[in-house]
Amino acid sequence: MVSIKDVASHAGVSVATVSRVLNAKGYVSEDTRKKVEQAIDELNYKPNEVARSLFKKQSKTIGLIVPDITNPYFPELARAVEDTAAKLGYTVILCNSDGKIQKEQHYMDVLMQKYVDGIILSSDTLSDEQIKALHIPVVSIDREISKDIPTIVVENKKGAKLATQFLQQKGRKRIAHIRGPVHIVNANERCEGYQEVVGNEQWFNESYIVNGHFEMDAAIEATIELLQRHPEIDGIFAANDTMAIGAIKAVHKLGKRTPEDIAIIGFDGISLSKATIPELTTIEQPIYTMGEKAAAMLIEFIEEKPIAETFYRLDVQLVERESS
Name the residues that contact ligand RIB, by CB under 6 A.
Answer: 71, 73, 142-143, 186, 214, 240, 242, 267-268
Cβ of 46: how many Cβ atoms within 10 Å? Answer: 9
DSSP states of 250-268: HHHHTT--TTTT-EEEEEE
- In whole angstroms, the minimum distance from the beta carbon of 118 to ligand RIB comes to 21
Q: Which is nearer to ligand RIB, 140 or 242 (CB)?
A: 242
Q: Which helix (H) or strand (E) holds 203?
A: none
- In whole angstroms, the minimum distance from the beta carbon of 83 to ligand RIB comes to 19
Name the nearest CA neighbour of 67 among 222, 189, 221, 242.
Answer: 242
Q: Which is nearer to ligand RIB, 45 or 214 (CB)?
A: 214
| CB 117, CB 62: distance < 8 Å | yes
Q: Which is nearer to ligand RIB, 45 or 73 (CB)?
A: 73
The contacts of residue 82 (CB under 8 Å, 6+ apart) are: 64, 92, 295
Q: Which is nearer to ligand RIB, 234 or 268 (CB)?
A: 268
Q: What's the start-to-end Cα distance of the chain, in Å?
A: 63
The contacts of residue 87 (CB under 8 Å, 6+ apart) are: none
- In whole angstroms, the minimum distance from the beta carbon of 214 to ligand RIB comes to 5
Beta strands in 88-246 (DSSP E): 91-96, 118-121, 138-141, 151-154, 175-179, 209-211, 235-238
| CB 81, CB 25: distance < 8 Å | no
Q: Which is nearer to ligand RIB, 49 or 315 (CB)?
A: 315
- In whole angstroms, the minimum distance from the beta carbon of 258 to ligand RIB comes to 20
| CB 282, CB 268: distance < 8 Å | yes
Q: Which is nearer to ligand RIB, 56 or 79 (CB)?
A: 79
DSSP states of 75-128: HHHHHHHHHHHHHTT-EEEEEE-TT-HHHHHHHHHHHHHTT-SEEEE--SS--H
Cα 59 → chain centroid:
22
Strand partners, 176: 236
Q: Which is nearer to ligand RIB, 166 or 267 (CB)?
A: 267
- In whole angstroms, the minimum distance from the beta carbon of 316 to ligand RIB comes to 10
Q: Which is nearer to ligand RIB, 7 or 246 (CB)?
A: 246
- In whole angstroms, the minimum distance from the beta carbon of 289 to ligand RIB comes to 14
- In whole angstroms, the minimum distance from the beta carbon of 66 to ligand RIB comes to 9
DSSP states of 59-77: -SEEEEEES-TTSTHHHHH
- In whole angstroms, the minimum distance from the beta carbon of 317 to ligand RIB comes to 15
